[in-house]
Amino acid sequence: MDLSHRRRVIIDTDAKNEADDQFAIVHALLSPSLDVRGLISAHFGTSRSDRSMEESREEIDLLLHLMGLEQNVTVANGAASGITDERT
């Protein structure tokens, strides 16, 4: 495949919320048509955890470690909570 046709993507994910995100992250990282420029850990609310964004970050870090890619992919923390109201 011609690598010049790869799509550059950033993945924003609440990786610890449901198991589909782990699959999507691995699929994207292994895809020859995607150039994953970074992963952002997202929060998934406070109904199950007060640190959901941090838990998503830990899950992303675990996946990258298991794949041996922890030094190859940029990871950033997203917002720790949702926007407080419509005016914010």
Q: How far is CA 35 from CA 22, 51, 55, 79, in A?
A: 17, 29, 25, 24
- The per-residue pLDDT for 75 is 98
The pLDDT, as a whole number, for residue 58 is 97
Question: At residue 4, does pLDDT exceed 60?
Answer: yes
Kindly state the helix (H) or strand (E) to which residue 77 belongs, with its residue range.
strand 75-77
Segment 34-47 shows an average pLDDT of 93
- Strands 75-77, 34-41: pairing is parallel
Angle at 78 between CA 8 and CA 63, to 5 degrees: 65
- Amino acid 82: pLDDT: 84
- The two tokens of residue 62 are 């675990």
Q: Is 45 left (phi over 0), alpha (psi -120 to 50) or beta?
A: left
- For residue 6, is pLDDT > 70? yes
Q: In this predicted structure, what is the pLDDT of residue 30? A: 96
pLDDT at 3 > cutoff 70: no
Q: What is the mean pLDDT of residues 15-44?
A: 95
**Amino acid 50: pLDDT:** 87
